[in-house]
Structure 1
Amino acid sequence: MTFLDELRALLGPEHVLTGGDTDSYTLDWRGRYQGKALAVARPGDTEAVAAVVRLCARHRVPVLPQGGNTSLCGGATPDQEGGTLLLSLGRLNRIRSVDTDNDTITVEAGCILQAVQQAAEQAGRLFPLSLAAEGSCSIGGNLATNAGGTQVLRYGNTRDLTLGLEVVTPDGRVWHGLRGLRKDNTGYDLRDLYIGSEGTLGIITAATLKLYPLPVARCTALLALPGVEEAVQVLSRARAGFGAMLTGFELMAGYCLQGVVRLYPQQRLPFSGASAESPWFALLELSDSESEAHARERFEHVLGEVLEAGLATDAAIAENVAQTRALWHLRESIPLAEAAFGKAVKHDVSVPISRIAEFVRTTNGLLQANFPGVTHVIFGHLGDGNLHYNVAPAPGQAEADLLALQARIYQVVHDSVHAHQGSISAEHGVGQLKVEELTRYKDPLELDLMRRIKQALDPDGIMNPGKVVRV
C-alpha cells in the first residue's frame, strides 16, 4: 500500500483530500502564499492525529498542522514541493469541560476562538483572548503563535492564559499535560515550549485555559490626540488611575480611522471638525468588578485630567453597549480597510513603550528619506508595546512597485526596531515570512539553542519544516 492508501484506510477516504479539494487549505487568507500539499488529512480526535503522525514518521513525510488558516506569516501554508501532508485540526472542535470552581475550560485545538468565548460566557465566566479574526481563528493556531490581541494589557498573551496542553509528538506519542494547575514546579516547562512553536515541535490537540469573572461594567472611550508622545503619557495616567481595571489601550494613526469611515460610510467617527481630522487616536477601555457607577466615576475623572492637561484634544465616551461596539468596530475594521485599499508592506513589531514615540518618529523619517511619499499605516496595542507598523504605496505609486521594495523596507523598519531594542515579531509569529530575518536580528546563541531544541524533539525534521528556524 502507498502512503495515501494507508492514510485513507486510517481516516476514511472522505477525510483525505487531494487535488483541487486542497486548494482552500494551501492558500493563506491574505493571498500571499500559495503552496502545494501531498494531501489534506482531517482526523477527528487526538488518537487519530497521533496515528497519522506515526504514519508520517514511518514514511518520512513532512506534516504541517493547520487550524483556521488565518496565519499572517505563512506559518500554516505548505511549500511548493507538494510533498507535505497538511493536517487540518478543524474536526477537533469539542469543548471538553468547564470547571467554574477552578476557573478553567478545556477545549480541543480546532475550536474557534469565538466558540470558546461563548462557552465561557454561558458558564458565567470570561475567556479574555480577543482578536479581529476570532470568528475564524482556532485555539490551536492561537497557541501555536502565542496570539496577543486587544486585552494583553490586563490578561496577557495566549501563553499567560494557558495552564495545560495535550500534544502529539513527532513520533506519534501523546503528552497528556492537561493539568489545571496554577503551580506545578516539577521540572522544565514543556507547556511554554510548545506554545509559540508554530507546530515545529509537535501538534497541540487540546488545552486547559484560564477563565475569569465576567466584568460588572465596561467603560470605553475614543480620544483624539496630537501625537504619539501624548498617547504614551495618557497610557501612563490611565495605568495609574485605573490600575488593574485597564483592559485595553489601542493606538491608531488618523489615516487608519479616516480610511475606515471613507470606505465604510455606515461607520462614523464620534467627532466633528478638527477632532475628526486628528493625526492620532486612542481607544481605551476599563472593566470593573464593582459597579457601573464606580467605573464611570473613575473613568470620567481620569479622562477629565487628561483633557485638562492638554494630552488629548477631544474624547467620546460610549454611553451604551451599542456605542461601545461601534467604537471597537472602528478599530477592528482597520485591517479590512487596509486590505481593500491594496497590499502594503506589513510589520508586526514590539518596542519598549517608553521608546515607541521615538521609534515612530525616527522610522517615519528613515522611510521618507529612502522611499519618498510612502504612506504610514500605523496602529496597534500601545498598552503592550505592539505596533502594526505598515507601509502603503505613495499617492500614485503602483502596488507592484511598492512590493518590489519590500526587502529594503523590511530592512529599514527592522533595523530601527532592533536599534530601539524591540522585536520583529510581536504576536503574528515567524512562519516562513521572517525565517531569514531571525538570522539577522536574533542572538546567535539563541538561534543555536533553538536549533538544538528542534533537533532534539524532531530529529527527522518532519514537523512543519522551513518555519521558525532552519536546521
Structure 2
Amino acid sequence: MSFLNTLSSIVGSDHVLTGEKALPFLSDWRGRYKGNAIAIVRPSSVQSIINIVRLCKQYNIAIVPQGGNTGLCGGSIPNNNSKDSIILSSTRLNQIREIDLSNNSIVVEAGCTLQKLQDISLEKNRYFPLSLASEGTCTIGGNLATNAGGTQVLRYGNIRELTLGIEVVSPDGYVIDLLRALRKDNTGYSLRDLYIGSEGTLGIITAAALKLFPICDKKWAILVSLSSIENAIEFLMETRCVFDASLTAFELISQFCLNLSLNFLNDKKYRLDTDFIDHPWFVLLEISAIGDIREVDDFMSNRIKIFLEKCIVLGYIDDAIISFDNLHFASLWHLRESIPLAEKDFGKGIKHDISLPVSVIPSFLSDMEKSLRLHFNGVQIVVFGHLGDGNLHYNVFKSIDQSEESLLSLQWQIYDLVHSKVHDFGGSISAEHGIGQLKVNELQKYKNAGALDIMRRLKKSVDPDNMMNPGKVLDI
C-alpha cells in the first residue's frame, strides 16, 4: 500500500488533501511564506496522530504541525529546503476533555480555537485570560508551540504560566502524558516547559491542562494620550503602584499606528477628537475588579477618575477616555486589536517582535529611530505593543516614494540594524511570535553559544531523524 493510501486508511480519504484542496494550508495568512507538502493530513484523535508519526518515520517523511495558521514567522509552513513533508493539521482534534471547577482547570485538545476555549470557560463562570487578535482562528496547540503572550500577560503571564500540563506525541510515535492538572509537581525536569515554545520541533502537542480564573465583575478600558514615551513609563509605574493586580493590560500605541487603525475601521463610533489624537503616544490600559457589581463600580470608577486627574496634574498624561459601558469597552479594545489587520491593509512591512527591559525602552526608541532615519531615510515606523511586559511590535514600512519591493529587498539590512540594537540594550529578538523559519539565522547571531549548543543537542537527542518541523528554530 502506498504512503498516501495508508494515510487515507488512518484518517479517511476526505482528510488527506492534495492538489487545489491543499493550497490554503501551504501559505501563511499574510502570503509571505509558501511551501510544498506531499499532503495535508487532518486527524481527529491522538491514536491517528500516533499512527501517522510511525508511518512517516517508516518512509522518512517530515511532519509540519499546523493549527490555525495564524503565525507570523513561517513556523507552520514547510521549509522547501528540507526533506519531503506532510502538514499535520490539528483543527479536527478540538474537543474539551474535562473541566474541573473545583481545581479551576480545563483540559482541551490542541486544535481547539482560543475563542472556543474562552467561550466554554465563560459558560462555566470562569475566565481564560489569554487574549490575541487572532483568537477566533488560532488554536491552543499553536499558542503553546510559540508560547503566546497577548494583551493580558501583565497580570496572568504567557501561556506557559497558564499551563498545568500537556500531552505530546513523540517523534517515535509514543504518547508522553504530562497532563496532570497540578500547581505543584516537583518530580524532575520540567518537560512541559521544554515543549512549550518549541514550535513543533520536538514533538506534536495534542492536549493541554490549563488554568482557569474567576470572572472579573467589572472592567474598565482607558485610552490616554501622552506627550512622550518617558511619560508613558512614569504612568506605567504609577498605575502599577496604585492598582497592582487590578491592572490587567497596558498597551502602547504610536500616533501613526492609531491613525492607521482609525482609517482602517472608518466608522463614526471610533472617531476621536482632533485635540486628543494630536499626541505622539497613547496607552490603552485595562483595570478589572471582583466583587459586588454596584459597590465595585462606584468605588473603582471614582478611584480611577481621581487617579487619572492626579496623573494629568503630574504631567504623566494629557487626556483620558474611560469606557462607560460594555460596548464602549469593546470599541476601545477593537481599536487596538485592529492594528494587525490595518497594517496588512496598509501594505507589506518589515516586522519585529522584540522585548526589552521597560526602563530602556525610551532610549531604545530614540536611538532606533535615529539609526533608521540615517540609513533608510523616509521609512515609516509603526510601533505598538505590550508596554507593561516590555514587548514591542516595532514595524518598518516603506517611505512615501518607495515601492514595497524596494523596502522588502532591505529586509535583512533592517533586521541587522534593529536586532543588533535590541541585543545591545539587553533585549530579545523574539518576544511572542517565535522563531519559525524567519529568524533561524538571526537566532544564531544573538543567542548565547552555550544555549544554542544545548538546544541542538536536545533536538538531536529527542528527534535524531529530524522529522519534526525541520528548518524551524534551529539551522538543522
TM-score, normalised by the number of residues in structure 2? 0.97
- 1:368-422: CA deviation from partner (whole Å, max 9, x where unpaired): 0000111110000000000000001111211111111111000110011001000
- The residue aligned with 1:458 is 463
- 2:356 is the counterpart of 1:355: no
Letter in 2 for 1:128: P
Paired letter, 1:251? L
Partner Cα distance (2:268, 2:396) in 1: 24
Corresponding residue of 2:394: 389
**Secondary structure of 1:278 counterpart:** coil
> Given that residues 270 and 316 in structure 1 are in contact (C-alpha distance below 8 angstroms), is that contact kept between their aligned partners in structure 2?
no
Identity of aligned residues (%): 51
Letter in 2 for 1:370: H
1:218-367 to structure 2, matched below 5 A, reads 218-266=219-267, 271-290=272-291, 291-367=296-372
**Equivalences for residues 16-55 of structure 1 within 5 A:** 16-55=16-55
Letter in 1 for 2:137: S
5+ long unaligned stretches in structure 1: none
Amino acid at match of 1:180: A
Task: Please state how far the C-alpha of 1:261 moved relative to its aligned partner.
Answer: 1.7
Cα displacement string for residues 279-336 of structure 1 (whole angstroms, at most 9, x for unaligned residues): 1100001111132223213322221221111111111111111111110011011111
1:33-72 deviations in whole A, cap 9, x for unaligned? 0001111111111111111001111211100110000110
Whole-angstrom distance in 1 between the partners of 2:298 and 2:459: 53
Residues 446 and 58 of structure 1, relative CA distance in 2, 3 Å threshold: same
Residue type at the aligned position of 2:109: E
In 1, distance between residues paired with 2:353 and 2:455?
Answer: 21
Cα distance in 2 between the residues matched to 1:349 and 1:10: 42
Specify the SS of the correspondent of 1:470. Answer: coil
1:57 aligns with 57
For residues 154-193 of structure 1, what are the structure 2 equivalents within 5 Å? 154-193=155-194
Distance 2:264 2:290 in 1: 37
SS in 1 for 2:349: coil
Q: C-alpha separation between the residues in 1 aligned to 2:402 and 2:391?
A: 28
Report SS of the residue matched to 1:293: helix
Which deviations, in whole Å up to 9, do the C-alpha atoms of 1:84-120 show, x marking residues without a partner? 1110101001111111100001100000100000000
- SS at 1:78 equivalent: coil
Alignment of 1:82-161 (within 5 A): 83-161=84-162
- For 1:347, what is the secondary structure of its paired residue? strand
Alpha-carbon distance in structure 2 between the residues aligned to 1:294 and 1:77? 50
Task: Output the TM-score relative to the length of structure 1.
Answer: 0.98
Question: How far, CA to CA, are the matches of 2:304 and 2:46 in structure 1?
Answer: 47
3-state DSSP of counterpart to 1:348? strand
Which residue among 408, 411, 424 is the counterpart of 1:406?
Answer: 411
Root-mean-square deviation (CA), in Å? Answer: 1.1
| Contact 2:262–2:271 under 8 Å retained in 1 | no
Once residues 274 and 308 of structure 2 are traced to their aligned partners in structure 1, the CA distance between those partners, rounded to angstroms, is: 21
Question: Structure 2 stretches of 5 or more lacking a match?
Answer: none
Cα distance per residue 1:210-236 (max 9 Å; x no partner): 000000111110000111111111100
Matched, 1:377 2:377: no
Runs of 4+ that moved beyond 2 A: 79-82, 267-271
Instruction: Write out per-residue CA displacement over residues 139-182 of structure 1, whole angstroms, 9 at most, x where no aligned residue.
Output: 00000000000000000000000001010000000011110100
Alpha-carbon distance in 2 for matches of 1:468, 1:79: 11
Question: How many residue pairs end up in the alignment?
Answer: 471
- Confirm or deny: 8 A CA contact 1:42 1:87 kept in the other structure: yes
Is the Cα contact below 8 Å between 1:237 and 1:302 reproduced in 2? no
- 1:267 shift after superposition: 5.1
Q: What amino acid is aligned across from residue 17 of structure 1 in structure 2?
A: L
What amino acid maps onto 1:4 in structure 2? L
Q: Are 1:417 and 2:418 counterparts?
A: no
Contact 1:219 1:295 in 2 (8 A): no
Following superposition, the deviation at residue 274 of structure 1 comes to 2.6
State the secondary structure of the residue aligned to 1:423: coil
For 2:18, give the aligned amino acid. T
* Aligned 8 A contact 1:260 1:334 in 2: yes
Task: Summarize deviations over 1:336-369 as a string: whole Å, max 9, x none.
Answer: 1111111011000000000111111110110000
User: Residue 442 in 1 paired to residue 447 in 2?
Assistant: yes
CA distance in 2, matches of 1:367, 1:374: 8
User: Secondary structure of 2:350's match?
Assistant: coil
Of the structure 1 ranges 278-287 and 263-272, higher mean CA displacement relative to structure 2 is found in 263-272
